[in-house]
Structure 1
Amino acid sequence: MSTDYDLVVVGAGWFGLAAAKVYLELHPIENILVLESSGTCGGTWAENRIYPGLKSNNLHGTYEYPDFPMDPEVYRVRPGEHIPGDVLHRRSRFHTRVDSVEPAPNDTWKLQISSPDSNEPITTGKLILATGLTSTPNFPQFPGVEKFQGPYFHAKDFARYSETVKTADNVVVIGGAKSAYDVAYTYADSGVQVDLIIRPDGHGPVWISNPYVDFGLRLEKLLLVRFLTCFSPCPFGDTAGLGAFRNWLHGTRIGRWLVDKFWVTLGNGVIAANGYASHPEIKKLQPWNSPFWTGTNLSIYNYPHNFNDLVKQGKTRVHIANVDHLTEHEVHLSTGDILKADVVVCATGWDKKPPSYFDYPGANIGLPQSTEEQTCLIAAADNEILTRFPRLRDQPQLGSAVAPDTSGDPHRLYRFIVPPNFVQTRNLAFAGALSAICTAIVANSQALWISAFFDGKLDRLASTDEEITREVLLHTQWGKWRYPCGYGAIAPDMPFDALPYVDLLHKDLGLRVKRKANWFWELFEWYGPEDFGGLVDEWVGKHPVKEA
């Protein structure tokens, strides 16, 4: 087995596979390796995460690589249907974990790995970390958990414990996001009594809608209509030439009034459709803040039966409370309620912090400036953001009147891809270190951007440390102010801003940003994977690859 590579990709999910595919297309004779700690590829959709009945939130046609459309005959899914979980899994055998990364001579990297076959270190000229944001679960250990007599696991491992759907009588699910709803539905629909616990000091219940909203429009498509993306304040939103309109919307009182009306109308439509006011138990599931502030934890109903009916019927009981402690067969809440539990499932999200691979002396995948300098630069970035987007000053209250945390340090990456210290060395990139609704589109564009960046062939790239730092801080601080009810304080979270982000990458690549037939369709027709097919060939046509 070779131990020297031109490129190593760590992670075989959506972003890792796209990055490897595009790089290999442009460097067909280079030695490339993909490492995956799991036994299969697929990331979130790896085989060991698929449990019976799991489906994507996306309907057919929006969750596929631009150059690999999902043929209905091959993948057993029709237009208008949610994609089964097992269809989103691709088989592979890796079982190789990266333990640490450290620099090697000539701007290369040495990776210490653990594998059934070999633990010998490998070296690579370039490294792409595509472990994403859903690799390390946020798994709370409540007082008394060691006394609990039943299965206690994170929702990531639900597939391993899927037999409990048949054996358990009472299940407690902790969490208010879509994964908690998925687990609760699977149990309750099988006749298991479910208690769903949503903590009062968190972000509250998820915004969730039917796939189709008013006038038969698909919600996931509306998020990729260029005109509608203008209603989200975004510092890189003017790449497609709508800067004047965006500035008017977010910089004037009349514009902000229209923006507020847009979000109120959107939220009221979902609230009415879900019938939160129709039943006191359903009311507990109504989101606590405007959809304006939410991130990509918004979701879509994809169940055969109505989830809210299970709540009305008492098959799923909702508690707004904290877990105080566990005993042998019970969960004790802060309200004093005691719940019977054969199983406890923590659908409590993910640890979205940067990976800890870089543990060598002098390692710095953040900003190069001192802490004192960064404090001043962050204040300047905050001032620029809040001056340009005054609406963001009026931050929401979270949970029990807990203000959103705007302290801390999110992952600081140029274009949400490259650590500032490595823009010049061009040997390190992160793929998928963000959360977006249109995963496949963003993965495809990031993959091409990374390959062009490694080759020094981007048409546009910040040239000074000051310019790099300013853009990194502007974009990452914006995330903290824009999506306090999502992941914005930790990682890029862009449910309504993915299309402008793709525009930004394509502008760097020298590719067409406006890809529709005319101005009307450019503004009002949704962007889907089919609009980005042949992107690599288009780029090669403008940047010919030299023959070896």
Structure 2
Amino acid sequence: MTIAIVGAGISGLCTAKLLTEFGFDVTVFESAPDIGGVWSRTRRYPGVTTQNNKGTYRFSDFPMPDEYPEWPTGKQVQAYLHDYARRFDLERLIRLGHAVESADLDETAGRWTLRIREIGTGATAETEFDHLIVANGIFCDPFVPEYPGLDEFVAAGGRVCAASDFNELSDAVGKDIVVVGYGKSACDIAEALSEVSRSTTVVAREVTWKMPRRLAGVLNYKYLLLTRLNEGLFEHHQQRGFGRFLTGPGRFLRDGLLNAVGAVTRRQLILDRVGLVPPGPFERIVRHAVGLATENFYEKVRDGIIDVHRGQVIAGLHEKDGRPTVELSDGTVRAADAVVCATGFRQHVPFLRGDLQRRLTDEDGNFELYRQILPLDVPRLFFVGYGSSLFSPLSAEAAAMWVVSYLTEHLDLPPEAERSAFARERLRWMIDRTEGKHARGTNIIPFSLRQVDEVLDEIGVNVGPLVRFRQWLLPADPGAYRASTEKLRRRIGEASVRRPVHRTPAR
């Protein structure tokens, strides 16, 4: 059985590893010149770091190096993923610099035809596979608004780009920089560029809650947001266990804890002083994404090094006195050699035929995927990494194990009508919970561990109750889930398993 995987980031790598261990013939296509996905050197902006600490942002069987800092840099994460690929002999499966231009399914023959373009030469070729796995991620295609006056702005020497396309700190030296957005990437790149720029302006349409890396300078945020207790504090449409108590009879405990954390955060990040207190209660921090506060960002706002325009958008781009400028919605005009857009991503699969794309989504373009993996109406197609999770590597591994179970026929799926009802109900709840910030049906935050539970329970390889109990107060350790892979091997049968080749990583 031949399988094509699109993307050599976190999801593509662990999926390739598991599938080859279970005897499948795998080819991975990656348009970038290196392994890493969002951590590729072609997409790393200055100042990028992980949001998780290194102990939770890792694969179950491959810890990050001891010498890495608590929050690794983008370069370190890319090196870690490269070492993972070498350790498990995945490089031979990966075709770097090869973009999938189109993927067509012959449902009668049961074959996918992929048209592949080699980036360096432009040469194209077609090849066939039995199954296709989309692992290009929900953060692969940055969204850059179409501002009026762009041609005039560029003619005056201005530059408009996504944050992931602003790769060199030197490009900001002595320049006037405008960063659009207020998420982690916007604050990270603004703080980094402010070290060398002439001026740094942040245009924030919406101000959201963020969590300090260490609450009160002491408590690592992983003990607050990377536990099951955190998930139990927030409303779920199918709440269970202790979470049902916390959002029901014990709501006073839950409200007290969230309010206390919110009050400390507000003081620690000097939000009142810099005029950046978000609207609504602190619990809205999980409305669509949990943002980790950028070190020194708020201090630089206080000191006038970074200028934040809250509640504004860019109304137009202009040339004034021979220089590129931006005009904000309140009429403010600022010099801008570069407009860096940290304005989100498109969630779509551009290489799929139009009719196939329409069968993946509802009428509004939201993905309808069972367990965030299986389309409701397109066969021989899977998605890995299409759930925005606080535990991205672990969530991807769980999805990859689910795919292995499906392909080896060791998965008892519910009837099609039941799968459809589940996926559509979950989507409706997701839209309501996130106030429409549901990333086209891919946002599972903050219920990352619950999603892992649901996936692994369905294939019968979840970790035991003692491990799950510890996760209520301690950050989830992905290493504990190595046992799930062993359970999967035993369940499917050792005879079908090809052990991975181990290599010593090169440094």
TM (norm. structure 1) is 0.80
Change (3 A) 1:302 1:62: farther
Partners of 2:472 and 2:177 in 1: how far apart?
A: 47
Q: Which residue of 2 aligns with 1:484?
A: 435
Aligned residue among 135, 139, 145 for 1:140: 145
Shift of 1:516: 2.8
Change (3 A) 1:312 1:88: same
Contact 1:436 1:498 in 2 (8 A): yes
Q: Which residue of 2 aligns with 1:380?
A: none
Q: Which residue of 2 aligns with 1:331?
A: 326
- Pairwise mapping of residues 121-200 of structure 1 onto structure 2 (< 5 A)? 121-148=126-153, 149-159=157-167, 161-168=168-175, 170-199=176-205
Aligned residue among 486, 493, 496 for 1:544: 493
The percent identity for this pair of structures is: 25
Aligned residue among 12, 18, 24 for 2:8: 12
Partners of 1:206 and 1:121 in 2: how far apart?
A: 46
> What are the superposed Cα offsets for residues 356-390 of structure 1, whole Å, 9 maximum, x if unpaired?
3332657653379xx7xxxxxxxxxxxxxxxxxxx
Q: Which residue of 1 aligns with 2:502?
A: none
Change (3 A) 1:198 1:523: closer
Contact 1:367 1:469 in 2 (8 A): no
Letter in 2 for 1:84: T
Letter in 1 for 2:389: A
Q: Which residue of 1 aligns with 2:392?
A: 439
Q: Which residue of 2 aligns with 1:392?
A: none
In the alignment, structure 1 segments of 5+ residues that lack a partner are: 372-407
Equivalent pairs counted in the alignment come to 472
Shift of 1:167: 4.0
Q: Which residue of 2 aligns with 1:404?
A: none
TM (norm. structure 2) is 0.86
> What are the superposed Cα offsets for residues 175-211 of structure 1, whole Å, 9 maximum, x if unpaired?
1111111121112122531111112xxxx12322221
Q: Which residue of 2 aligns with 1:493?
A: 443
Q: Which residue of 1 aligns with 2:456?
A: 506
Shift of 1:113: 1.9
1:212 aligns with 2:203: no
Shift of 1:488: 1.6
Partners of 1:36 and 1:65 in 2: how far apart?
A: 20
Contact 1:514 1:522 in 2 (8 A): no
Shift of 1:517: 5.5
- Pairwise mapping of residues 289-304 of structure 1 onto structure 2 (< 5 A)? 289-293=280-284, 294-295=286-287, 297-303=289-295
Change (3 A) 1:15 1:362: closer
Q: Which residue of 1 aligns with 2:303?
A: 313
Partners of 2:105 and 2:493 in 1: how far apart?
A: 31
Partners of 2:309 and 2:334 in 1: how far apart?
A: 10
Contact 1:35 1:94 in 2 (8 A): yes
Change (3 A) 1:96 1:207: same
Letter in 2 for 1:18: C
* SS of residue in 2 equivalent to 1:229: helix
* SS of residue in 1 equivalent to 2:72: strand
1:272 aligns with 2:267: yes
> What are the superposed Cα offsets for residues 120-151 of structure 1, whole Å, 9 maximum, x if unpaired?
21111111001111111110121111111222
Aligned residue among 71, 80, 104 for 1:82: 71
Which stretches of structure 1, 4 residues or longer, exceed 6 Å deviation after superposition? none
Shift of 1:453: 1.3
Q: Which residue of 2 aligns with 1:286?
A: 277
Aligned residue among 20, 27, 48 for 1:24: 20
Change (3 A) 1:194 1:364: closer
* SS of residue in 2 equivalent to 1:7: strand
Q: Which residue of 1 aligns with 2:58?
A: 64
Letter in 2 for 1:39: P
Letter in 2 for 1:114: R
Partners of 1:209 and 1:314 in 2: how far apart?
A: 22
Change (3 A) 1:53 1:489: closer
Shift of 1:502: 0.5
- Pairwise mapping of residues 511-530 of structure 1 onto structure 2 (< 5 A)? 511-516=461-466, 519=469, 521=470, 523-530=472-479
1:448 aligns with 2:411: no
Contact 2:103 2:352 in 1 (8 A): yes
Partners of 1:490 and 1:6 in 2: how far apart?
A: 29
Partners of 1:517 and 1:127 in 2: how far apart?
A: 34
RMSD between aligned alpha carbons? 2.5
Letter in 2 for 1:113: I
Change (3 A) 1:296 1:69: farther
Q: Which residue of 2 aligns with 1:351?
A: 346
1:49 aligns with 2:43: yes
In the alignment, structure 2 segments of 5+ residues that lack a partner are: 83-90, 498-507
Letter in 1 for 2:260: T
> What are the superposed Cα offsets for residues 294-317 of structure 1, whole Å, 9 maximum, x if unpaired?
3453222353xx211211121111
Letter in 1 for 2:158: G
Q: Which moved more, 1:18-27 or 1:90-99?
A: 90-99
